Amino acid sequence: MRIDVLTLFPEMFYGVLCSSILGKAVEKGLLTVNLVNIRDFSKDKHRRVDDYPYGGGAGMVMMVQPLYDAILSIKGTDPGAKTIMTSPRGKRFNQAIAKELSTEKHLVLVCGHYEGVDQRVIDSMVDEEISIGDYVLTGGEIPSMAIIDAVTRLLPEALGSSDSLEEESFKQGLLEYPQYTRPAEFNGMKVPEVLLSGNHKEIEKWRREKSLEVTRRFRPDLLEGTRLSVEEERRMQSKNSL
Ligand code: 4HQ
Share above pLDDT 70 across residues of the chain, in percent, rounded to a whole number: 94
**Sheet containing 116-117: order of strands:** 50-51, 61-62, 116-117
Which uninterrupted H or E stretch holds 222? none
- Report pLDDT digits (tens) over 94-111: 999 999 999 999 999 999
CA-to-CA distance for 204 and 194, rounded, in angstroms? 10
Using the mean position of ligand 1's atoms as its centre, give its distance from the Cα of residue 143 in Å: 7
88 lines ligand 1 (CB under 6 A): yes
Domain CATH code at residue 236: 1.10.1270.20
pLDDT digits (tens, 9 = 90+) for 200-215: 999 999 999 999 999 9
Q: Say how many Å lie between the CA of residue 133 and the centre of ligand 1.
A: 9
% of the chain exceeding 90 in pLDDT: 85
The CATH number of the domain where 16 resides is what? 3.40.1280.10
117 CA: nearest ligand 1 atom: 10
Distances (CA, A) of 53 to 50, 126, 168, 242: 9, 20, 45, 58
- The average pLDDT across 211-239 equals 88
- Give me the chain's average pLDDT, please: 94
> Residue 112 sits in which domain range?
2-152
213 is a domain residue: yes
Reported as a single tens digit per residue, the pLDDT across 53-82 is 999 999 999 999 999 999 999 999 999 999
Tally the domains of the chain: 2
CA angle (179, 185, 190) in 5-degree steps? 60
For residue 152, pLDDT beyond 70:
yes
Same domain, 88 and 8: yes
The reply to whether 173 and 148 lie within a common domain is: no
Residue 169's pLDDT band (boundaries 50, 70, 90)?
very low
